[in-house]
Amino acid sequence: MATSGLIKTVGKAVGCVAMPVACAVFAAYSDKHFPGWVFALSLLVVAASTIPAVLFFNLFRDNGSEAPRKGFEFSKQPDEWDDLFSPWHRDDDDR
């Protein structure tokens, strides 16, 4: 099972690199052989196709500093409605 995970990871990495390269080759081809709007759209596709590679290789991680993280804290009272995004609040008369 470990080789299956390795093959899947290598396949994702190759796909994440091959997709922007193929889009860039098409953009270079469309620069000479198609109208300008096709070239502009192909550059947009190149930019969009780099997103999976950036996310897969985690290129924007910050190793230098640990940002303070505040996780979600559950309420101490089991029957309290204090959802910040909800306009509904439980009253004592509702029981």
Domain ranges of the chain: 1-61
DSSP state letter for 67:
P
Structure tokens at 39: 């070239």
The sign one gets for the Cα dihedral 4, 6, 11, 12 is positive
55 CA to centre of own chain: 6
Q: What is the pLDDT along the chain (95 residues), one digit of tens a residue?
A: 577 888 888 888 898 889 999 999 999 999 889 888 998 999 999 999 888 888 888 877 766 656 566 666 665 665 555 555 666 655 656 55
> Are the beta carbons of 39 and 80 closer than 8 angstroms?
no
Nearest to 20 by CA among 45, 56, 57, 39: 45
> What DSSP state is assigned to residue 58?
T
pTM score > 0.85 for this model?
no
